[in-house]
Amino acid sequence: MAATFVIAVFIACVNLVYIKYEQESVNAGEIAVFTMELDLRPIEDRTFSRLVIGFCCPNVWDPKEDGNVRIFYEHDKDPGEWKLMEMIPPDVLTVQNPMTWVEMLQSRHGYGPNVLSDMEWVVFWSPEQIEPKNNDWFTCRVRIEARTSRHNLRAKLGFFASHTQEGGTTGNDHFKIGFGESSEGGIACFEVVNGVGDLIDFCELQANMNEPLSATQNDIVTIRYNAGLVDNDTFFVDEEGDPVEDEIYLKVTAYTNKGNVYAKTALNEETKMNRAATVGLSYQLTFWPVRYFDIPPDEEILRLEYVFSNQHGKELLKQVEIDGELVDEFIPFRYTFEC
Say what the pLDDT of residue 282 is. 81
Judge whether 3-195 and 205-336 match in fold.
Answer: yes
Alpha-helical segments (H) within the chain: 101-109, 289-293
Whether omega before 127 lies within 30 degrees of 0, making that bond cis, reads: no
Per-residue confidence in pLDDT tens, the chain, 339 aa = 455 443 332 234 677 777 888 888 999 999 999 999 988 766 665 555 788 999 999 999 999 999 999 999 998 877 778 999 999 999 999 987 789 999 999 999 999 989 888 899 999 999 988 766 666 667 889 999 999 999 999 999 999 998 887 767 776 677 888 887 544 455 688 999 999 877 888 988 777 888 887 788 889 999 988 876 665 555 555 566 565 556 889 999 999 999 999 999 999 999 999 987 655 678 899 999 999 999 999 999 999 999 998 887 878 766 666 666 666 666 788 888 875
- Please state whether beta strands 25-27 and 190-193 pair in parallel, antiparallel, or not at all (unpaired): parallel
- Quote the pTM value: 0.77
The Cα 288–Cα 236 span in angstroms is 28
Say what the pLDDT of residue 8 is. 31
Say what the pLDDT of residue 231 is. 56
- Locate the domains of the chain by residue range: 3-195, 205-336
- Let me know: does 164 contact 125? Beta carbons within 8 Å: yes
What Å distances lie between residue 244 and 30, 59, 235, CA to CA? 46, 37, 9
Say what the pLDDT of residue 52 is. 92
Side chain identity at residue 290, one-letter code: V
Instruction: Name which of 48, 196, 233 is nearest 134 in CA terms.
Output: 48
What Å distances lie between residue 168 and 55, 291, 296, 309, 325, CA to CA? 16, 44, 50, 48, 48
The Cα 222–Cα 180 span in angstroms is 29
The Cα 226–Cα 59 span in angstroms is 23
- Let me know: does 74 contact 83? Beta carbons within 8 Å: yes
Helix (H, G, I), strand (E, B) or coil at 229: helix
Q: Give CA angle at 267 (265, 270), nearest 5°.
A: 85
**For the structural domain made of 205-336, what CATH number should be given?**
2.60.40
The domain defined by 3-195 carries CATH number 2.60.40.1510: yes
The DSSP annotation for 311-339 comes to TT-PEE-EEEEETTEEEEESS-EEEEPP-
The Cα 271–Cα 89 span in angstroms is 45
**The sheet that has 208-211: what strands, in order across it?**
208-211, 221-226, 282-287, 274-275
